[in-house]
Chain A
Amino acid sequence: MSELLGIRGLRTTFPTRHGLVRAVDGVDLDVRPGECLGVVGESGSGKSVTFLSVLGLVRPPGRVEAEAITFLGRNLLSLAPTEIRAIRGRDIAVTMQDALTALNPAFTVETQIVETIEAHEPGIAKGEARARAIEMLRLVGIPDAERRLAAYPHQFSGGMRQRVMVAIALACRPKLLIADEPTTALDVTIQSQVLDLIDDMRSELGMSVVLITHDLGIVAERCDRVAVMYAGQVVETGPTAEVVASPIHPYTQGLLRSMPSLAHLDAPLVPIDGTVPDPTRLSDGCRFLPRCPHAVEACARPIALHAVSPDRAARCVLVEVAQ
């Protein structure tokens, strides 16, 4: 088994007044050791919920079902709450979109790093945990780390706060970091700094990274492989270079066409017509059907994710036909 994390048939649903929202609907994904997997999609496509589901962080009344979620060969679904808690933060860490809301405003940075270390290494000496906290802050490039330990989150700038969150996430040297929109809340100039930091940490700690983003540009630049999500499903996966060079799924093609390119500044941007489907009224067929320029009759029936090559797959009738 080569993958670090394997997700099979993940379904996450939320009952609402307007009906059942199928936020994640049959997602299969693999994260390999040491790789950076980009997960791209619009807001509401199920990117974040997929990984919250993996960690058991979906709140009731949300429901998570899956054929299997394996991490290092263990099925996370069969673990007791204390066992999954031991994995969170230690083996699989998370950073969230906005550090301002993800860090607790009522506690100092020291408390928030040290408590993570203490949760996973019970009995660690207070001084040692503190030293580790300082080391982590230095590692993520926070100047004057020792003094800044006593500061509250609101006393940091946006970029520094994001670094603090990364420091907390990496405090226990996880094997997998799930970075959920790590740059969305940041200025463009600081975005690349934070992404560089995550890259550096990845090679330094030898961990895998799942980079959740709606920015295909970031994925193209930073990720080994990419998974494109649309309306709760993975519609295309493959090595980033290949997917960007020759997208198979019409949605991926549309995404790439709607992206500005520095090389062709005068090329017009082509938006994808139509809107994302209502999550309470998803059809069983292809969810991109109403917006797809290549739609045929067969698109209305359920479509599976088809392997195109050993490393690539797409959820599209066109692939089926080609085979």
Chain B
Amino acid sequence: MSPLRLAERLLQLIPVLLGISVIVFAMMALTPGDPVQIMLGDSLADQAQRDSLRRDMGLDLPVVERFFRFLGNALTGNFGLSFFHRRPVMDVILERLPATIELTLVAMLIAIAVAVPLGVIAAVKRNSLLDRIATVGSMLGVSMPGFWFGILLILLFAVNLHILPVSGRIGFGYEVKMATGFVLIDTLMAGRLDSFLDALRHMLLPAVTLGLAMSALLMRVTRTSMLEALSQDYVTFAEAKGLSRLRVVGRHALKNALIPTVTVAAIETGSLLGGNMIIETVFGWPGLGRLVVEAIFSRNYPLVQAAVLIYATTYVLLNFLADLLYTVLNPKVRL
């Protein structure tokens, strides 16, 4: 894709993001309840103090002006103070975001590592026992609620077998100085293999739980697109050229079959990011998802607002990334 076309595509994202910010702002503006009342709670502040706080927060301004203030602040990453933490919302979020990104990426890797080979084998050995098992398995994977499967895993591997930790991100004895915020990278950078392995053990159950539903979906997509690719003339022609079966399946069919798979994977990563609130809560994972759940229960509106905006923006950007990947994989498509 030419840089110009890329810039054009990026510009097209602006109205989408603007729309999201309108919705997020409206969500807060329309929520019943007075933020000042929530902040001050049952404290003994008098009316003058309440009015002054209202002015400080800009809540006395007309709604349109408040929106543009919100937008301007949001662009600079300023989402106000977290009621609960008494610190800037962005600081609190940035502290938690790496844990969520790390978990999501590892879950995604697990999902791809499981789904693509299984989908390919299921397609190549269509209607075999293995294909049937994979199909039933993927149906189970899609329909099993993540929190329930997660709890089952905890019961089996942590409670009964004692081979994996119940929750958390890393054991107490293994903590290392955070540099990137990604614990798997930080432990390696610190040269602490023991810490790395401990972090990996903590990562395993939540990542598998999160990756399972995704891998089930990806496997279906891979199998279907692989079947489609295998029936194409170019596969027969590749075989007629005397190429090995591995090359015909693994290169000629797979590269074409991966086009839909990669697109779905990139889009699904967005929903993983947003959808891991439950998983993070079940596994006590100190990420953004759990932070948002806590914020919702404590009516910490600025934080919820910022998180929703971040989720939505990430989702939009991942969709954009999916489009980019699509053009890389499919030479016929030029954006």
Residue in contact with B238 in the complex, picked from A55, A101, A104, A172, CB distance below 8 Å:
A104
A93-B238 contact, Cβ under 8 Å, with A106-B330, A106-B331, A107-B255: no
Stretch at the interface among B81-89, B105-113, B228-236: B228-236
Given contacts A106-B252, A152-B331, 12 further A-B contacts (CB under 8 A): A57-B240, A81-B245, A88-B239, A96-B240, A101-B234, A105-B256, A107-B255, A115-B241, A115-B243, A115-B247, A116-B241, A119-B247
Report chain A residues within 8 Å CB of B252. 104, 106-107
Within A98-130, the residues touching B (CB, 8 Å) are: 98, 101-108, 115-116, 119-120
A119 touches B241 (CB 8 A): yes
Give the residue name and chain of the A residue nearest to B231 (CB).
Answer: A59
Say yes or no for A173: interface residue by CB 8 A criterion.
Answer: no
A154-B240 contact, Cβ under 8 Å, with A96-B233, A101-B232, A106-B256: no
Say yes or no for A87: interface residue by CB 8 A criterion.
Answer: yes
Say yes or no for B177: interface residue by CB 8 A criterion.
Answer: no
B237 touches A103 (CB 8 A): yes
Give the residue name and chain of the B residue nearest to A111 (CB).
Answer: B251
Which 5 pairs of residues, A with B, have the shortest CB-CB distance? A89-B242, A88-B242, A101-B233, A94-B240, A89-B241
B239 touches A90 (CB 8 A): no
B255 touches A90 (CB 8 A): no
Say yes or no for A86: interface residue by CB 8 A criterion.
Answer: yes
Say yes or no for B244: interface residue by CB 8 A criterion.
Answer: yes
Question: How many Å from the CB of A223 to the closest CB on chain B?
Answer: 21
Report chain A residues within 8 Å CB of B256. 104-106
Say yes or no for A8: interface residue by CB 8 A criterion.
Answer: no
Question: How many Å from the CB of A122 to the closest CB on chain B?
Answer: 11
Say yes or no for A168: interface residue by CB 8 A criterion.
Answer: yes
Say yes or no for B74: interface residue by CB 8 A criterion.
Answer: no
Give the residue name and chain of the B residue nearest to A61 (CB).
Answer: B127
Residues of A whose CB lies within 8 Å of any CB of B are: 52, 55, 57, 81, 85-90, 93-94, 96, 98, 101-108, 115-116, 119-120, 152, 154, 165, 168-169, 172
Residue in contact with A116 in the complex, picked from B232, B233, B242, B331, CB distance below 8 Å:
B242
A86-B329 contact, Cβ under 8 Å, with A105-B234, A115-B247: no
Question: How many Å from the CB of A265 to the closest CB on chain B?
Answer: 37
Residue in contact with A57 in the complex, picked from B232, B239, B244, B329, CB distance below 8 Å:
B239
Separation of A93 and B237 alpha carbons in the complex (Å): 10
A119 touches B234 (CB 8 A): no
Question: How many Å from the CB of B282 to the closest CB on chain A?
Answer: 41
A105 touches B331 (CB 8 A): yes
Question: How many Å from the CB of A163 to the closest CB on chain B?
Answer: 15
Give the residue name and chain of the A residue nearest to B242 (CB).
Answer: A89
Give the residue name and chain of the B residue nearest to A113 (CB).
Answer: B241
B239 touches A102 (CB 8 A): no
Report chain A residues within 8 Å CB of B236. 52, 57, 96, 102
Question: How many Å from the CB of A116 to the closest CB on chain B?
Answer: 4
Report chain A residues within 8 Å CB of B330. 105-106
Within B185-243, the residues touching A (CB, 8 Å) are: 232-234, 236-243
Report chain B residues within 8 Å CB of A89. 240-243
Report chain A residues within 8 Å CB of B241. 88-89, 93, 115-116, 119, 168-169
Separation of A154 and B331 alpha carbons in the complex (Å): 9
* Contact flags B138-160 to A (C-beta < 8 A → 1, else 0): 00000000000000000000000
Residue in contact with B329 in the complex, picked from A55, A101, A106, CB distance below 8 Å:
A106
Report chain B residues within 8 Å CB of A169. 241
A102-B234 contact, Cβ under 8 Å, with A107-B255, A152-B331: yes
B331 touches A119 (CB 8 A): no
A102-B242 contact, Cβ under 8 Å, with A152-B331, A152-B332, A154-B331: no
Separation of A90 and B241 alpha carbons in the complex (Å): 8
Report chain A residues within 8 Å CB of B233. 96, 98, 101-102
Looking at B236, B242, B251, B256, which has the most chain A CB atoms within 10 Å of its CB? B242
Report chain A residues within 8 Å CB of B331. 105-106, 108, 152, 154
Looking at B233, B255, B330, which has the most chain A CB atoms within 10 Å of its CB? B233
Within B231-272, the residues touching A (CB, 8 Å) are: 232-234, 236-245, 247, 251-252, 255-256, 259
Separation of A103 and B238 alpha carbons in the complex (Å): 8
B242 touches A94 (CB 8 A): no
B255 touches A119 (CB 8 A): no
Give the residue name and chain of the A residue nearest to B255 (CB).
Answer: A106
Give the residue name and chain of the A residue nearest to B235 (CB).
Answer: A104
Give the residue name and chain of the B residue nearest to A56 (CB).
Answer: B239
A and B contact pairs by CB, cutoff 8 A, 23 listed: A52-B236, A57-B240, A85-B242, A85-B243, A86-B242, A89-B243, A94-B237, A98-B233, A102-B233, A104-B234, A104-B252, A105-B330, A105-B331, A106-B252, A106-B329, A106-B331, A107-B251, A107-B255, A108-B331, A115-B243, A116-B241, A152-B331, A168-B241
B242 touches A96 (CB 8 A): no
Report chain A residues within 8 Å CB of B329. 106
Separation of A172 and B233 alpha carbons in the complex (Å): 21
Separation of A87 and B242 alpha carbons in the complex (Å): 7
Give the residue name and chain of the A residue nearest to B234 (CB).
Answer: A104
A119-B243 contact, Cβ under 8 Å, with A104-B234, A105-B234, A107-B255: yes
Question: How many Å from the CB of A13 to the closest CB on chain B?
Answer: 19
* Contact flags B321-335 to A (C-beta < 8 A → 1, else 0): 000000001111000
